[in-house]
Structure 1
Amino acid sequence: MPTAADKARIFADLHVPGRPLQLFNIWDAGSARAVADAGAPALATGSWSVAAAHGLDDGEALPLALVLANLERIVAAVDLPVTLDFEGGYGATADEVGRSAASAAGIGAIGFNIEDQQIGGHGLRPIGDQQARIAAMRAAAPHAFVNARTDIFLKAPAAAHDDAAIDDALVRAQAYADAGASGFFAPGLADERLIARLCERSPLPVNIMVFPAVPPAARLAELGVARISHGPGPYRLAMAAVTEAARALYP
């Protein structure tokens, strides 16, 4: 039986630029089993989907106790590595982020997403502040794959995604790497040239999220992407199927 540290190493080894790990994001134990049965090598929750499944909005509206209870059921249902979309880290301070991460790691999370937007506020956290939060998460979960997300490309329209934005992202990527991050997540970025530049210059393996404007997985691999996330897409797909099937009963 692999330990949590073993699973974390397995998960980290799946991040290969040019041969990206694809994560079809889950939201509960049932979806975890479904994706595992499809042959996935690892699983990742999506915070938007987990919140929606509980009837709540994204943005840490779901209480930490429910996040951890949901994680516990997922980990118990599958033998695969499970990484947790932890939004802003569930803590007002770096110390609180560390305590929250320790709780999740104790349940079995072998990785985390932590984002740099101000949860419940505006804009991005100062780089030093986000470094402290990442460092606290790393100290609390030494073996975990800490996927540091930047919201630069979600906070600006696609027309504003340019080389200057990539330069800003690269500054954050280096700072987050220095703080102990394992990967760099840039959701919202879709331009092929900019993705290639980010992958070439980033000190960390790059994660891109699927949405309609993003190139297909084969092209992302050619651009050097190491991880592809499907975000809320799987949940929306599942709920659309449920709605369509139910609609047939209620003409």
Structure 2
Amino acid sequence: MKIAVLSDIHGNVPALEAVLEDVTRWRPDEVIVNGDLVNRGPYSLVCLHLLQRSFPAVRFLRGNHEDFVLSCEEKAYDPEHPLFDLRRFAHWTHAQLGAAVAELRRWDNHIDLTELDGGALHITHGSRLGSRDGISARTAEADLPAKLGERRDLFITSHTHKPLWRLFDGTLVVNTGSVGAPFDVDHRACYGRFLFDGRRWQAEVVRVAYDYAQTERDFAASGFLAAGGPLTRLMLEELRHARMFVGPWMQQYHDAVKNGEISVARAVEDFLGNAL
């Protein structure tokens, strides 16, 4: 059994195209998208259709960004409200997806496979604690039992945008990194290959070069950079530097923005002035 696991594509068409070429050559039995196909990038709908054409049997799981886009429907937001800029990019993605938003709602949040002797498998975007609760190199061993839940031979996670291999209590934990927005200072797209040989899983995280300069042009050509709000500037810098900008910005400015002490646009300007 050969499974290719892609995650955190975030509307990055050139990265996805390069990865799908590599996946096609590998010829897996199954292709799984482990969340965050959409949002945070320029062409979510194009990526969805590209996957469906390339692998009609592809299985999609929901990540936190699918949930974020779906939350745009739960209550009305005033686009003129100062805090709307915290969500503007997700509403832009929601509008781009159009009727395809309904597909996101049907996706599961995990796959659990228990019938393979020596090959019990769990796949989810973050952990058993939720799609925003990831597993990284900094995760303490004391926190892993709750995150991993009932023991499986292989636990596949994503969300952090950084590839990872860990062995814990007989479970191989693999983070597949990110196709569209790696945060480990390596611009190459990243996905996971998993092979069950009848006794155990073999895991490999593959890096694939792609034209990220084209993705930067897509940020502008799609309208995402102009209409998605100030936070899209941080996402563009993440692409350029292959490291996280939105998370540190949130830690530094989120409370001040919510308290009305500074606008999102001004906070982004201040942050980038210090970070670059």
TM-score (norm: length of structure 1):
0.34
Greater share of strand: 2
- The higher radius of gyration belongs to 2
* Structure with greater helix percent: 1
